[in-house]
Structure 1
């Protein structure tokens, strides 16, 4: 998605060779107009897949998932929580996820009330690096007996193993910007389609 790549080139900040900060427009301060275009693109790519639920993980995937849902007939967005709360009572699906960003392992949870065998799920996330979050979300969907239509990723770090790992599981992954390399000197290089 050229619009997204241009925005990353202009406003993204590279830290070392592994961190791309896009918090000025994607996951701290959000450019809603850009997210609208992202939603349209995911709709185009997953048109006709029968999606009736969108799943993400808290926190930075929620904003993206909500805007994407508007382009899928306002289907419900559900998100896996990283902490058990008093609001989630009863049966839950759980999975362990190692966060690349935070450098720790989370037990993610999702109420069984909101995901079941009748659901066809599009997983949405802002980043794909090592694939741990996506792998955890896939386990939740499979545990629910739901069907995975695919995963929509805003930015994939193609130089890390996550994309290959998830595609190797037979999951369709559509990434809008695939980063080939990062450096503070040269900026961001994208995989050419």
Structure 2
């Protein structure tokens, strides 16, 4: 998606440790018009009539997932990273290692909201090593639901998480796959 790539080049920052900062438009300060364009693009790749629910992980994926859900009239669920007292009826959970926080995190989804037979599209703003996506796929499987695919705005292709998911047969569509990033130089994967 050229519009997204242009924003990454123009406004993104490459920080030490292979951190790609896109918080000025994607995951802290949110450009809702861009989010809507991303939703439209994901709708061109995925058959949204075959999707019952949008699933993401807390916290930065929530904005994009909510816009996608609203755009296509679907409910949205986000996996929490901490158990709260208001969750009833049991939990699906998956342990992942967070690249962002450099620690183990447990993703939690209430059994009240995700059911066997649900057709799930996972949506997230950013994928580094793919652990959050793997954890969300694990939760979908534990629920007996069907994974329709994963829609991701930005993927760090050089970390291999997306490629591992694709090799496992997951229908993954990332709109901007970054092959390499250094201060002043971001190179994108050519689209197939």
TM-score bracket, normalised by the shorter chain, equals over 0.9
Q: For structure 1, which segment, 15-24 or 36-45, has the greater mean C-alpha deviation from structure 2 after superposition?
A: 15-24
Does 1:150 find its partner at 2:149?
yes
**Is 1:109–2:121 an aligned residue pair?**
no
Among candidates 184, 189, 192, match of residue 191 of structure 1 = 189
TM-superposed CA distance for 1:17, in Å, is 5.7
Give the structure-1-normalised TM-score: 0.96
Residue in 2 that maps onto 1:61 = 61
How far apart in 2 are the matches of 1:164 and 1:192? 14
Residue 47 (1) aligns with residue 47 (2): yes
User: For the Cα contact (< 8 Å) 2:39–2:67, is it kept in 1?
Assistant: yes
Q: Taking structure 1 as reference, are residues 48 and 63 closer, same or farther at Cα in structure 2, changes over 3 Å only? A: closer
**Cα distance, 1:108 vs structure 2:** 1.2
* Alpha-carbon distance in 2 for matches of 1:82, 1:164: 25
Post-superposition offset of 1:128: 1.2
Q: Structure 2 length as normaliser, TM-score?
A: 0.96
RMSD: 1.1
Helix, strand or coil at the partner of 2:158: coil
**CA positional deviation for 1:192:** 1.2
Alignment of 1:1-193 (within 5 A): 1-16=1-16, 18-47=18-47, 50-72=50-72, 74-184=73-183, 186-193=184-191
Q: Is the CA contact 1:55–1:77 (under 8 Å) kept in the aligned structure 2?
A: yes
Give the total of aligned pairs. Answer: 191
1:46-67 CA deviation, whole Å, 9 max, x = no partner? 0255001000000000000000
Deviates more, 1:58-67 or 1:13-22: 13-22
Residue ranges of structure 2 left out of the alignment (5+ in a row): none
CA distance in 2, matches of 1:40, 1:115: 24
SS at match of 2:47: coil
How many Å apart are 1:187 and its aligned residue? 2.1
Instruction: Name the SS of the counterpart of 2:50 in structure 1.
Output: coil
CA distance in 2, matches of 1:64, 1:110: 18
